[in-house]
């Protein structure tokens, strides 16, 4: 079997240039201006996971430095090494070295920078000032509020948003075609539902499904991602609200047994489904969401998942009776 078949598709189909970055038109437009000017300030990329922050940083380096981009691009995951020693050691040592290949500066990309401690961020601020002539920083984070204000004021902030479903489906079709796989429209809908705007998650789901079958349909996707169908989740909610506790509990137990879902997985699907369930009036929806948050907290704190979710269904039954 050829070695290429073992490629990770997320990396294999990662955008190589800014023109290939999808769904972030305003971000790309501003980054291209830096490429044309051959200069850039420190940058802060903020947004949900899988929306193209790392891809945009690498594509920017490729467009700026050409073939020498690897020599002038240093990537560090701040969630793995988040203390002040890393900032004063690895990051400072790299920041003070001259760029290679005639490049005007080099780029230091700190992924998940919101995981850096407050002390590490304070030390990083000084390094950003001291070596700004030869080093530019790109900080990537999910929550920009966790980045200290002195760093935010020294960076140009770029907000990444979840990808549009149609853009995701178009890209997934391209990847499936390149890999010689047939994918149905229903399967694409299921992947988009599962990934929630996270392109990395969507491509991983497609690759897992492709390993199961050359023809990827809705059933294959749900099996591959260990996700319950949206219709099943809706049925469980409706049955509970109608007072059919045993019927709703049956579906819940099937999610645990057949799909291998965790309590937090089920809570997340319930949340998405309740927000999109048109037959609920706003007052009932608010009460259910409030209770959902309470039970999610209980599970995170170590409560038994099955007991907590069965208790949640009992509350839905009571809510349904009161609504009648």
pLDDT at 4: 45
Using pLDDT thresholds of 50, 70 and 90, give the confidence band for residue 3: very low
pLDDT at 98: 86
| Contact between residue 239 and residue 274 where contact means Cβ atoms under 8 Å apart | no
Start-end of CATH 3.40.50.300 domains in the chain: 3-159
Using pLDDT thresholds of 50, 70 and 90, give the confidence band for residue 2: very low
Give tens-digit pLDDT for 111-122: 888 888 888 888
| Contact between residue 46 and residue 142 where contact means Cβ atoms under 8 Å apart | yes
pLDDT at 1: 35
Q: Which of 154, 97, 99 has its CA nearest to residue 125? A: 154
The number of beta carbons lying within 10 Å of the beta carbon of residue 215 is 13
Tell the residue number behind the tokens 């969401």, with chain if given.
289
Higher pLDDT: 78 or 3? It is 78
Give tens-digit pLDDT for 247-303: 999 999 998 888 888 899 899 999 988 988 877 888 999 999 999 999 999 999 999
Q: Which of 19, 37, 38 has its CA nearest to residue 28? A: 19
pLDDT at 79: 61
Fold topology of 230-323: Zinc Finger, Delta Prime; domain 3 (1.20.272)
Give tens-digit pLDDT for 184-234: 999 999 999 899 889 999 999 999 999 998 899 998 998 888 888 888 999
Give tens-digit pLDDT for 142-153: 988 889 999 999
Strand partners, 76: 110
Interatomic CA distance for residues 168 and 231, integer angstroms:
22
CATH of region 3-159 = 3.40.50.300
CATH 1.10.460.10 is held by the domain 165-225: no
Q: Distance from CA of residue 187 to its chain's centroid?
A: 20
Start-end of CATH 1.10.8.60 domains in the chain: 165-225
Start-end of CATH 1.20.272.10 domains in the chain: 230-323
pLDDT at 83: 61
């Amino acid at each position: 079997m050829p070695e290429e078949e073992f490629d990770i598709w997320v990396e294999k189909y990662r955008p190589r240039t800014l023109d290939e970055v999808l769904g972030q038109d305003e971000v790309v437009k501003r980054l291209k201006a830096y490429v044309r000017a051959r200069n850039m300030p420190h940058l802060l990329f903020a947004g949900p996971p899988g929306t193209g922050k790392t891809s945009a940083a690498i594509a920017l380096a490729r467009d700026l430095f050409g073939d020498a981009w690897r020599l002038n691009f240093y990537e560090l995951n701040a969630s793995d090494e988040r203390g002040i020693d890393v900032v004063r050691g690895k990051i400072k040592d790299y920041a003070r070295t001259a760029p290679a290949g005639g490049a005007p500066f080099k780029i230091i990309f700190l992924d998940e920078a919101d995981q850096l401690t407050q002390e590490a961020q304070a030390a990083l601020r000084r390094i950003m000032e001291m070596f700004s002539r030869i080093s530019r920083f790109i900080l990537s984070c999910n929550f920009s509020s966790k980045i200290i204000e002195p760093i935010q004021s020294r960076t140009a902030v770029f907000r990444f948003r979840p990808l549009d479903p149609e853009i995701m489906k178009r890209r997934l079709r391209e990847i499936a075609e390149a890999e010689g796989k047939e994918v149905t429209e229903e399967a694409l809908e299921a992947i988009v539902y599962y990934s929630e705007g996270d392109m990395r998650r969507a491509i991983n789901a497609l690759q897992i499904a492709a390993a199961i079958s050359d023809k990827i349909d809705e059933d294959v996707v749900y099996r591959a991602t260990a996700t319950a169908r949206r219709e099943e989740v809706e049925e469980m909610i409706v049955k509970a609200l109608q007072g059919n506790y045993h019927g709703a509990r049956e579906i819940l137990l099937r999610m645990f047994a057949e799909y291998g879902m965790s309590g937090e997985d089920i809570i997340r699907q319930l949340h998405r489904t309740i927000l999109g369930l048109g037959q609920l009036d706003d007052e009932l929806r608010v009460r259910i969401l409030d209770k959902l948050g309470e039970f999610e907290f209980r599970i995170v704190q170590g409560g038994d998942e099955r007991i907590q979710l069965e208790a949640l269904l009992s509350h839905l039954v009571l809510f349904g009776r009161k609504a009648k």
